[in-house]
Amino acid sequence: MATGSSGRSGTDDGDPARGAAPAGRTRRTTAPRSRAPAARAAAGTRGTRSRARPKAKVAPTAHAHTAPDEPFRLVDIEPGRPDGLKKKAIAEELARHRGRIAALQARLYAEQRRSLLIVLQAMDTGGKDGTIKHVFQGVNPQGCQVWSFKQPSVEELAHDFLWRYHAKVPTKGMITIFNRSHYEDVLVVRVRQLVPEEVWAARYDAINQFELALTQAGVTVLKFFLHISKDEQKRRLERRLDNPDKNWKFSRADLAERKRWDDYQVAYQDAIMRCSTPHAPWYVVPSNSRRYRNLVVARAIAGALEAMQPQFPPAESSLGRVHVDD
């Protein structure tokens, strides 16, 4: 898997929906119905119960938001995993969905007609790196690229705010992952007051237009907010301090950002509310549990790829009569 980085403000961390909700309301989703590929990428259907021997099925869920400007409260969404899910069952389901992703990605890459953009956003320690590492195991590195956006360069600042992101969107056949993204320009820029409100507030519409243009060009857009609690962030920061092998991932800047937790929650809530559309919905993923987080994201991505129905190109005719000389 190719990786790269481009500028962004802030620090890096270490580490899909049933039919359209009324007026775009956020809700828990488990069974995708027929609709745009991105919005079909919600967690899949629940398993049926066997009469002879009831067996629990893992039914990972995400909270989909599919229409702009419908209020919701991020604080009302539980960041922990549901009770009763066994680690072994989660691991088995994750392996199955990774296999689906790898097989479908091979078709997408060979087809060379469409592409997939995955946006990962989270608070510090939210698990973006870990999600990439565990969800994309087995994916052909030739067809997948990761971009991490750090502080903008002088050249990037000399262009419109979307310029550096547009330059990294996936070409046909590719899966591209944004580890942080264009949403930083309505998140960290807002919270740190790097530009006036009238500047960052106008960016919501620009982002919606940008994502619509990508969709019309054959790019399926999936956006995930990896939702953790403030207490869970504290535990993860402390583990980085306690483990010498993790010390390198700790930054005092994370503590400064932690003091702005409430401001960031409001900023994320507004970004999700203002920039959720049927063609590019946001999915809020309960992420206190790493294993559950990985499963939810993997199932969503596999569902989106399946909805795209990529196909291998047709073979040359009369291959059955072809003989390979010694």
The domain that holds 127 is classified in CATH as 3.40.50.300
Q: Are strands 27-29 and 62-65 parallel, antiparallel or unpaired?
A: antiparallel
Domain tally, the chain: 1
| Helix (H), strand (E) at residue 266 | helix 261-274
| Dist CA 121 CA 99 (whole Å) | 24
CB contact at 8 A, 225 and 121: yes
CA–CA distance from 225 to each of 64, 84, 232, 286, 289 (Å)?
10, 24, 15, 9, 14
Contacts 24+ apart (CB under 8 A), 243-249: 246/14, 249/13, 249/14
pLDDT at 66 (0 to 100): 64
Would you state the pLDDT for residue 71?
72
> By residue range, what is the domain housing residue 76?
2-43+61-228+260-311
Strand locations in 199-324 (E): 219-227, 282-286
Any domain includes 133:
yes
Dist CA 136 CA 97 (whole Å): 10
Residue 53 domain-assigned?
no
Residues of the chain with pLDDT under 50: 7-57
Angle formed by the axes of helices 87-111 and 128-135, to 10°? 80
Residue showing tokens 């991505």: 301
Q: Give 12: exposed, middle or buried? Use CB within 10 Å, 0-12, 13-18, 19+.
A: middle
Q: Which helix (H) or strand (E) holds 179?
A: strand 175-179
How many Å is the Cα radius of gyration of the chain?
20
Residue 159 located in a structural domain? yes
Inside any domain, residue 69: yes
**Beta-carbon contacts of residue 326 (< 8 Å; ≥ 6 apart):** none
Q: Which pLDDT score, from 0 to 100, does residue 287 have?
A: 96
Determine, yes or no, domain membership for 74: yes
- 30 in a domain, yes or no? yes
Whether residue 242 is contained in a domain is answered as no
Instruction: Report d(CA 320, CA 326) in Å as an integer.
Output: 17
Determine the pLDDT at residue 2.
64
Is residue 137 domain-resident? yes
Predicted local distance difference test score (pLDDT) of residue 308: 96
Element (H, E) at 262: helix 261-274
